[in-house]
Amino acid sequence: MLSGNTVKTTMLFPVEIKQEVETLARELKVNMTTFVLDSIKEHIQKIEAERWKKAAEMMASENESDDELKEWSGFAGDTYD
């Protein structure tokens, strides 16, 4: 079920892909719109997770090579209650 703002979009699919999408949607007992939207959302989440992973790897590498960052990451400092 769609919620919120929606916009109608026309997309062109190769015949084989459209047939496969129809088959899979029937198997999952959902309509094509739901199947396509869920697939796109899943792909977006995968890409976003990969972006976060790359950013974390970049920061870990930066932390290893930057002496000032190393110093700050080991900072215990005074704490106040």
DSSP the chain: ---S----------HHHHHHHHHHHHHHT--HHHHHHHHHHHHHHHHHHHHHHHHHHHHHHHHHH-HHHHHHHT-------
Domain locations in the chain as residue ranges: 15-70
The tokens of 34 are what? Answer: 């739901």
pLDDT at 15: 97
List, for residues 14-69, the tens digit of each pLDDT value. Answer: 999 999 999 999 999 999 999 999 999 999 999 999 999 999 998 888 777 777 77
Q: Report the pLDDT value the prediction gives residue 62, as an integer from 0 to 100.
A: 79
pTM: 0.67
CA distance 4 to 2: 7
- Comparing 17 with 70, the larger pLDDT belongs to 17
